[in-house]
């Protein structure tokens, strides 16, 4: 029991109680959410553009008789074309 009292004394004091609900803060939250959705849509469109370009290049290389295989690697900020050793299907419809 003495140990519990010591542990309670060593615990940090709780911070101020949470602020009451403020509807005006919701406006900022909704705006940030919309910006994030817009950014995600822009990256998605950019990735689809890279995929389309890559598909055209693969078709051209196949027609020319060259073997070159690439894969689209999507990360948090950009889409990169990375050379790999196995063919990858990047068509948007599949």
Domain that holds residue 59: 25-94
* Gap between the Cα atoms of 48 and 61, Å rounded: 20
Partners of 83 in the beta sheet?
70
Q: Is the pLDDT of residue 85 over 50?
A: no
In degrees and rounded to multiples of 5, residue 93 shows phi and psi of -85, -5
pLDDT tens for 13-71 read: 767 777 787 888 888 889 999 999 999 999 988 888 888 888 888 887 777 655 445 55
If one counts the domains in the chain, the total is 1
pLDDT score for 86: 45
Residue 3 lies in a domain: no
Residue 15 lies in a domain: no
Per the CB < 8 A criterion, the answer to whether 72 and 55 are in contact is: no
pLDDT score for 34: 93
The model's pTM is 0.43
Residue 48 lies in a domain: yes
* Gap between the Cα atoms of 67 and 87, Å rounded: 10
Residue 9 lies in a domain: no
pLDDT score for 35: 94
């Amino acid at each position: 029991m003495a140990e519990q009292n010591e542990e309670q004394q060593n615990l940090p004091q709780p911070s101020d109680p949470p602020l009451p609900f403020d509807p005006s803060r919701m406006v900022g939250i909704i705006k940030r959410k919309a910006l994030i959705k817009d950014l995600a849509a822009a990256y998605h469109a950019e990735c689809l553009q890279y995929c389309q370009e890559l598909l055209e290049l693969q078709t051209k290389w196949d027609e020319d008789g060259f073997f070159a295989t690439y894969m689209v690697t999507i990360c948090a900020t950009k889409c990169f074309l990375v050379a790999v050793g196995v063919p990858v299907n990047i068509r948007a419809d599949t």
